[in-house]
A = this chain, B = another copy of it.
Amino acid sequence: MAASTGDLADRIGSANELAFRRLSAIEPVLVGVREARDAIPALRERVVLHAGPPVVTEALCGPIRGAILGAAVYEGWASDLSAAEALLDEGAIALRSAHDVGAVGPMAGIVSPTMPVVEVRDAHRGAGAYAPLNEGIGAVLRFGANDATVVARLRWMRDVLAPALDAAVRSLGGIPLVPLMARALAMGDEMHQRNIAATSLFCRTVAPALAERAPGPGLSAVLRFLAESDQFFLNIAMAAAKCALESIREIPHSTVVTAMSRNGVEFGIRVSGLGARWFTAPAPVVAGMYFPGFTPVDANPDMGDSAILETLGLGGMAMAASPAVLGFVGLGSMREALATTQSMREITLGQSPSFKIPTLDFAGAPMGIDIRAVVKLGIAPVINTGIAHRVAGKGQIGAGIVRAPLAAFREAVTAFAARYAAPAPVAGTE
């Protein structure tokens, strides 16, 4: 028994070392902006992607439901929202978890076939990941808004913004994302609730190429859209993080978390050594900073694939990098921010060699969440998250810090033990 336990610990150690090496070596590059159905074969007619673990139509939360209806009108599957509702309720719109097809989306996370998606590829391994373009703030599909303005903006993004960005990015030969994200981290972005530095750097990088490759009357509107959305880069960062974590998707014996995500009903995680299986717990309601006039009673439970950033060691895990985000998420002081990131070191394999935190004298962000440490220490990953109104389309009503539910990690540890700690098969062919 003791020897067997030792063997298992060694195997886990080696597997996690491999996972950490891969995460450390990742070089995601933004290669272009494509139509989703071209990039993601699963996106056939009347299929939409959503955030979080898989969910059935009947269980959809308000904002995701609203966003699906908007997407149906945008795609022309229905002439109006009530026709869209009929379609959805009769089961004529199929739902897929974005994570299951290599994509991630913030909040509702809805991606329909003709929406543009950013394409991020690892420079070495070639593996790709996708995310929709960020729509800006206010009434937007990702919070379930679905009126004519929202649909018109989505069409403009498809017809004007996406081709312009694609031409610009391709003319640059792609944009390496690790250097840009590392620079933004040194400029106070934690890259989940704060992306103003990354967005500004991105904008400054693509603007000359936009002027060259997409001149004309649409150019100023494209540049204005980038200028007015401080979170534009969020979705690109999410695709970069997804790309990184895809590189460790199924390493036998690895206890490293490869996804944390929420569909507004359930919070789910995936673990490298356990492959595509989701381990879930009820999605928490966020005890955060609510905008004036709103309280937790108005809040939808936590939602979105954006916790992929924390899965890589950014967002709440890298809180110390972003003193400017503290007030927004409701943390009191720099001291607490430092303590938050330091406590995340206890549940991670090591420090990112790329993503450095200046306030910690350039120590790396805590990377590689180990389910064993989370369960053993009872320290759950910290996630910086936006809070959506539970009614579709009412939008963001706050932001705050949420802890990933420990129950999901406990379930994963149990499953891990069942799979790997069982008596060894006769011929050692496990």
A: residues with CB less than 8 A from B are 183, 186-188, 196-197, 199-201, 203-205, 207-212, 215, 219-221, 223-224, 226-227, 323-324, 326-327, 333-334, 358-362
Q: Main secondary structure on chain A at its contact with chain B?
A: helix
A362 neighbours in B (Cβ, 8 Å): 327
Q: Across the interface, do A187 and B324 meet the contact criterion of CB distance under 8 Å?
A: yes
Scoring A203, A208, A221 by chain B CB atoms within 10 A of each residue's CB, the highest score goes to: A208
Q: Across the interface, do B186 and A207 meet the contact criterion of CB distance under 8 Å?
A: no
Q: Across the interface, do A227 and B208 meet the contact criterion of CB distance under 8 Å?
A: yes
A301 to chain B, nearest CB (A): 31
Partner of A207, one of B187, B227, B327, B361: B227
Scoring A197, A200, A221, A334 by chain B CB atoms within 10 A of each residue's CB, the highest score goes to: A200
Q: How far is the CA of A223 from the CA of B214 in the complex (A)?
A: 14
A212 neighbours in B (Cβ, 8 Å): 220
Q: How far is the CA of A212 from the CA of B227 in the complex (A)?
A: 14
Scoring A187, A204, A223 by chain B CB atoms within 10 A of each residue's CB, the highest score goes to: A204
Q: How far is the CA of A137 from the CA of B324 in the complex (A)?
A: 30
Partner of A211, one of B186, B199, B219, B334: B219
A327 neighbours in B (Cβ, 8 Å): 362
Q: How far is the CA of A210 from the CA of B221 in the complex (A)?
A: 11
Q: Across the interface, do B187 and A208 meet the contact criterion of CB distance under 8 Å?
A: no
A128 to chain B, nearest CB (A): 27
Q: Across the interface, do A358 and B207 meet the contact criterion of CB distance under 8 Å?
A: no
Q: A204-B204, A327-B362, A359-B359 are in contact. List 18 more A-B contacts (CB 8 A).
A: A186-B188, A187-B188, A187-B197, A187-B324, A188-B358, A200-B200, A203-B207, A207-B223, A207-B226, A208-B220, A208-B223, A210-B223, A211-B220, A211-B223, A215-B215, A215-B219, A323-B359, A334-B358
Q: How far is the CA of A210 from the CA of B209 in the complex (A)?
A: 14
A187 neighbours in B (Cβ, 8 Å): 187-188, 196-197, 324
A360 neighbours in B (Cβ, 8 Å): 334
Q: Across the interface, do A205 and B188 meet the contact criterion of CB distance under 8 Å?
A: no
Closest to A200 in B: B200
A397 to chain B, nearest CB (A): 24
A203 to chain B, nearest CB (A): 5
Partner of A224, one of B188, B196, B208: B208
Q: How far is the CA of A201 from the CA of B184 in the complex (A)?
A: 13
Q: Across the interface, do A204 and B200 meet the contact criterion of CB distance under 8 Å?
A: yes
Scoring A207, A324, A334 by chain B CB atoms within 10 A of each residue's CB, the highest score goes to: A207
Q: Across the interface, do A226 and B204 meet the contact criterion of CB distance under 8 Å?
A: yes
Q: How far is the CA of A360 from the CA of B323 in the complex (A)?
A: 9
Return 20 A-B CB contacts under 8 Å, by A number: A186-B188, A187-B188, A187-B197, A196-B201, A200-B203, A203-B203, A203-B204, A204-B204, A204-B227, A207-B207, A208-B221, A208-B223, A209-B220, A210-B223, A212-B220, A215-B215, A324-B358, A327-B362, A334-B358, A334-B359
A323 neighbours in B (Cβ, 8 Å): 186, 358-359
A187 to chain B, nearest CB (A): 4
Q: How far is the CA of A221 from the CA of B215 in the complex (A)?
A: 13
Q: How far is the CA of A326 from the CA of B197 in the complex (A)?
A: 19
Q: Across the interface, do A211 and B211 meet the contact criterion of CB distance under 8 Å?
A: yes
Closest to A226 in B: B204
A220 neighbours in B (Cβ, 8 Å): 208-209, 211-212
Q: How far is the CA of A333 from the CA of B362 in the complex (A)?
A: 9
Closest to A183 in B: B196
Give me the 5 closest cross-chain CB pairs, A-B, nearest first. A323-B358, A200-B200, A211-B220, A208-B224, A208-B223
A358 neighbours in B (Cβ, 8 Å): 188, 323-324, 326, 334
Q: How far is the CA of A188 from the CA of B188 in the complex (A)?
A: 7
Q: How far is the CA of A220 from the CA of B395 in the complex (A)?
A: 37
A210 neighbours in B (Cβ, 8 Å): 223
